[in-house]
Amino acid sequence: MRHLESYRLADLPDRAYYIPDFLTEEEEKSLIQKIQSVPSARWTVLSHRRLQAWPTQLLHGSILPTADAIPNWLADSIVPRTIDLGIWNASPHACANHCLINEYEPGQGIMPHEDGDVYYPMVATVSLSAGIVLDIYGKSEDGPRKVTYRIYQEPRSLLVTTDELYTKFLHGIQEIFLDEHLNSNTVSNWDLLSNEAKENIERNGGVVERRMKRISLTFRDVKKVRNLAKILQTNRRL
């Protein structure tokens, strides 16, 4: 893989990186198969998507140290490569310790939001199965929020967002069936897209239909790892 800086999205506020074909098709297939074979109780079903949290959901914004690490089937093809890119060099655990798996049916999405300060401000998102547009919004106090930037996430790609882009902007996925008006002027990572994606989008007049479910894996470093020994001690004293 080339140096991280060669994947920088220069049009976006500091900083974001986009790497197409971060995973091979075999790695993608294997991940999808594993994700789908996890017991259904492992999914949290929301009205507009469903999700799995690994190793566990957060408790009061922290990870329990008794929780295992992110399981190998989920981490192995991704986490070491993100470490090699150097993105966790300054994070508290020098590594991702948490992964959220979001699954969106066609027409589903996620409201504009911030990921907040429970996490070190760095997100590594791998997309599986289908492409989708992530919208970036400025924080505006008055009036409706406006889409400021658009990032097209191909399947098997890695998107890294950090710094001001993490702390000063919101992100979301619209609940629509067609991502439209996609071209070199509207898509911030157009130049870094695979040729195949660019050709397909151009052939379809800048439109991508969401036909299949799209899965995202968002890897982060949760700042606080709760000291379970201390909690047990405190409880015993109560």
Ligand X SMILES: O=C(O)CCC(=O)C(=O)O
User: Which residues are near ligand X by CB under 6 A?
Assistant: 100, 102, 110, 115, 125, 134, 171, 216, 218
**Shortest CA distance to 222 belongs to which of 84, 82, 88?**
88
The entry of ligand X, Fe ion, none that residue 157 binds, CB within 5 to 8 Å by partner kind = none
Least distance from C-beta 62 to Fe ion, angstroms?
18
160 binding partner (options ligand X, Fe ion, none; Cβ < 5 to 8 Å by kind): none
Q: Which is nearer to ligand X, 88 or 166 (CB)?
A: 166
Least separation in angstroms between residue 79's CB and ligand X is 17
Cβ proximity to Fe ion, 76 vs 115, nearer residue:
115
Compute the distance between CA of residue 11 and CA of residue 200 in angstroms, rounded to an integer: 23
DSSP strands (E only) in the chain: 16-19, 44-45, 50-54, 62-63, 98-104, 110-113, 122-128, 132-138, 147-153, 158-162, 169-173, 178-179, 208-209, 214-220, 224-225
Distances (CA, A) of 53 to 75, 98, 194: 13, 8, 30
Q: Which does 125 bind (CB under 5 to 8 A by kind): ligand X, Fe ion, none?
A: ligand X
Which CB sits closer to ligand X, 102 or 189? Answer: 102
* Residue where the block lists tokens 């050709």: 199
Q: How far is the CB of 153 from ligand X (least distance, A)?
A: 6
We find the least distance from the C-beta atom of residue 110 to Fe ion, in angstroms, to be 7
Cβ-based nearer residue to Fe ion, 30 or 148: 148
Question: How far apart (Å, rounded) are the C-alpha atoms in residues 225 and 205?
Answer: 48
Distance CA 179, CA 173 (A): 10
**Residue 129 binds which entry of ligand X, Fe ion, none, CB below 5-8 Å type-dependent:** none
Q: Which is nearer to ligand X, 194 or 233 (CB)?
A: 194
Q: Work out how close the CB of 137 gets to ligand X at its nearest, in angstroms, rounded to a whole number.
A: 12
Binding partner at 82 among Fe ion, ligand X, none, C-beta below 5 to 8 Å by kind: none
With CB cut-offs between 5 and 8 Å by kind, which of ligand X, Fe ion, none does residue 102 bind? Answer: ligand X
Nearest 10 degrees: CA dihedral of 76, 81, 84, 90? -80
Task: Give the whole-angstrom CA distance, residue 56 versus residue 231.
Answer: 18
CA torsion 82→87→90→94, rounded to 10°? -10
Query: 2 by DSSP, 3-state: which?
Result: coil
Q: Which is nearer to Fe ion, 98 or 198 (CB)?
A: 98
Nearest-approach distance from CB 113 to Fe ion, in angstroms: 6
> Given the rule CB under 5 A, which residues bind Fe ion?
115
